[in-house]
């Protein structure tokens, strides 16, 4: 017998043939990719269609695929210093221009059918990523889209109030982009002489951090730590 998720997938693929393509997901959540040209039409039909009824947008976020799939760490072996395992990025590998560096992810909920669905739209323009706003479809997208604009620099066309929401008014750059430095570009301090907060170049020295690694030794060898059954 087909599961509820499989039945939903059949309805989606029948109704949106040619407009949605299924994406394999490791988390087991039903995921489809939609082109930017079909975004508004598809989302409206997912909300209003009697067989879908995804009346809630519960989350929206951006994704930066710059250097996606590249090895960040080699942590199988330990070293004397511990810092040779980190990858220091020099030349960034640009995302495939046909699929786009950036994407927007939409997490939808149907309360009526107790089902969830995830949509992904890839943005082809890597220099000025822009996609239609879905505020008119789900009002909850307002602040979510502002956050994606602030953190990733993704523009949402026809958004009613596209301003930064987390960073300061004078902030430069977008912190969640993969090419944004971890230490930032500037830092702030209070200047007593001027009587206000001022910006200055960041004083922290950049360095490569290494994740903690459990070494392969007898303390973590299950065959050596298991006791005999009669002990």
* Number of domains the chain contains: 1
* DSSP codes joined into one string, 49-85: -TTT---EEEEEEEEE-TTTT---B--SS--SSS-TT
Give domain status of residue 108, yes or no: yes
For residue 141, the domain's CATH number is 3.30.460.80
What domain range includes position 45? 4-166+206-225
List pLDDT tens digits, range 96-150. 545 789 999 999 999 999 999 999 999 987 778 999 999 999 999 999 999 999 9
DSSP secondary structure string, 158-217?
A: T-S----SSS-TT--S-TTSTTS-TT-SEEEEEETTTTEEEEEE--SPP----------S
N-to-C CA span, the chain: 48
* 189 assigned to some structural domain: no
pTM reported for the whole predicted model: 0.76
75-102 confidence digits (pLDDT tens):
555 555 544 455 555 544 544 545 789 9
Is 184 domain-assigned? no
In a domain, 61, yes or no: yes
Distance of alpha carbon 137 from alpha carbon 40, whole angstroms? 8
């Amino acid at each position: 017998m087909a599961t509820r998720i499989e039945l939903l997938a059949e309805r989606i693929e029948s109704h949106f043939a040619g407009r949605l393509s299924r994406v394999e997901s490791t988390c087991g959540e039903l995921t489809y990719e939609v082109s930017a040209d079909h975004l508004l039409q598809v989302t409206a039909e997912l909300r209003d269609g009697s067989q879908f009824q995804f009346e809630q947008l519960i989350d929206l976020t951006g994704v930066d695929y710059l250097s996606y799939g590249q090895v960040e760490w080699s942590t199988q072996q330990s070293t004397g210093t511990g810092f040779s395992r980190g990858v220091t990025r020099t030349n960034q590998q640009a995302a495939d221009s046909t699929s786009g560096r950036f994407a927007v992810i939409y997490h939808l909920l149907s309360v009526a059918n107790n089902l969830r669905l995830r949509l992904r739209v890839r943005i082809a323009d890597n220099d000025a990523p822009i996609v239609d706003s879905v505020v008119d479809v789900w009002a909850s997208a307002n602040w979510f889209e502002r956050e994606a604009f602030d953190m990733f620099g993704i523009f949402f066309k026809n958004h009613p109030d596209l301003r930064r929401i987390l960073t300061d008014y004078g902030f430069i750059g977008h912190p969640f982009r993969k090419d944004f430095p971890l230490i930032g570009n500037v830092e702030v301090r209070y200047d007593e002489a001027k009587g206000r907060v001022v910006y200055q170049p960041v004083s922290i020295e950049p360095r490569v951090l290494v994740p903690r690694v459990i070494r392969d030794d007898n303390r973590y060898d299950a065959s050596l730590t298991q006791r005999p059954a009669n002990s």
